[in-house]
Amino acid sequence: MGVHTAHNAESSDHAAVSHQFEDIGQQNEIYIVGMWTFLVTEIMFFGVLFFAYVLYRWKFGDVFYEAHKVLNVRLGFINTTVLLTSSLFMALGVRSAMLKNRKMTLFWLISVIVCAFAFMVIKYFEYSAKIAAHEIPGPFFQWHGPGSAGQAEIFFSLYFAMTGLHGIHVLIGIITLGILAWMVAVKHKAVDDYMPIEMFGLYWHFVDIVWIFLFPLFYLMPHG
Amino acid sequence: MDHSENQAHHAPPLKMFIATFSFLLVMLWLTVAVSYVNLGPLNNVVAMTIAVAKMMAVILYFMGVKAGSKLVWFWAAAGFIWFLLMFFTLGDYMFRPNVVGW
């Protein structure tokens, strides 16, 4: 519908190359490197929490082991499966976008939203059960298991901080996916090129990787 | 490199994604199964080895780093190298006299 100027005619196949780049290949590589740079900061963001976890588990291993029994392995397993599936759907969405199959791109993006939403619903039930049982750190914290209540509280602090920060990432993912899906649906020109979806895919896979570590560390803790 | 006439030629085969996903699911089942077997301190090693294997599968295939350029490889590796370096500070905690309290 738009008025195309003559010099834009040949770029109808792919997004226009910005003037600072040699060609579309270089532009795409820089987009991906930029996204990875952001992910490096995300590794630092989550990294310190993983470090705190290792340190406290090493110091308070016995109480951590007792406290971890409160977590529901079955729900954790289902949520891991849901998230791994969402990563597959995301990869298929990026692939469809590369192949310029708009309908399938939209389908896969919505499938990822459904998975992400299912993850948050399961997480909601897990959190509510723990809040009801006074296992949330703070003035109402109660610990009836063996060992120090203070040490158990540190376990739950780490649990809520790490799964909570992860959950916030899933939530941001849902919002961003919603925007991307809407843009694909209305044929917005920003998503003519597959790059925005590819970059979001990198973020989504990263969030999946964080959970890949959270699940065994919190739900499948071995004794000792 | 002027072979980037259209982007469609980059699209990886469907089979690769299905294989990666199957690997991830098998590893998930394996890590849950192993957690019910008492291997002593080896449990931690096995759980983390499986997690790293899953992470590598996601990075290399889902995130497309395997097919990516050297620069992308470098950035992807940089974050994790930093992460490992941070754990060297654990040495300080290990050789410090125990703090009373907490």
Residue A34 in contact with partner chain B when CB distance is under 8 A: no
Q: Is the pLDDT of residue A40 over 60?
A: yes
Interface of A with B in 186-205 (CB under 8 A): 193-194, 198, 201-202, 205
The answer to whether the CB of A176 falls within 8 A of the CB of A155 is no
Nearest by CB to A222, which of B35, B58, B75?
Answer: B35
Q: For residue B102, tell me if it sits in a domain.
A: no
Nearest by CB to A95, which of B11, B48, B93?
Answer: B11
Q: For residue A10, tell me if it sits in a domain.
A: no
User: What range does the domain containing B86 cover?
Assistant: 9-94
Distance in Å, alpha carbon of B74 to nearest chain A alpha carbon: 9
Q: Please tell me the distance from the alpha carbon of residue A110 to that of residue A105, in angstroms, as a whole number.
A: 9
Q: For residue B101, tell me if it sits in a domain.
A: no
Burial of A60 (0-12, 13-18, 19+ CB in 10 A): buried
The answer to whether the CB of A200 falls within 8 A of the CB of A136 is no
Q: For residue B51, tell me if it sits in a domain.
A: yes
Please tell me whether residue B99 adopts helix, strand or coil conformation.
coil
Tokens found for residue A141: 């914290």
Cross-chain residue pair A216–B1, CB shorter than 8 Å: no
Q: For residue B89, tell me if it sits in a domain.
A: yes
Helix or strand run (H / E) with residue A193:
none
What is the ipTM, given to two decimal places? 0.87
Q: For residue B44, tell me if it sits in a domain.
A: yes
Q: For residue A14, tell me if it sits in a domain.
A: no
The answer to whether the CB of B90 falls within 8 A of the CB of A54 is yes
Based on the structure, what is the number of domains in chain A?
A: 1
Q: Is the pLDDT of residue A1 over 60?
A: no
The answer to whether the CB of A151 falls within 8 A of the CB of B102 is yes
The answer to whether the CB of A191 falls within 8 A of the CB of A197 is yes
Q: For residue A87, tell me if it sits in a domain.
A: yes
Residue A184 sits in a domain of what CATH number?
A: 1.20.120.80
Q: For residue A7, tell me if it sits in a domain.
A: no
User: What range does the domain containing A55 cover?
Assistant: 22-219
Based on the structure, what is the number of domains in chain B?
A: 1
Q: How confident is the model at residue A106 (pLDDT cuts 50, 70, 90)?
A: very high
Q: For residue A5, tell me if it sits in a domain.
A: no
pLDDT by residue (tens digit) across A58-100? Answer: 889 999 999 999 999 999 999 999 999 999 999 999 999 999 9
Mean pLDDT by 10 residues, chain B (102 residues): 47 94 97 91 92 96 92 89 86 72 49
Q: For residue A109, tell me if it sits in a domain.
A: yes
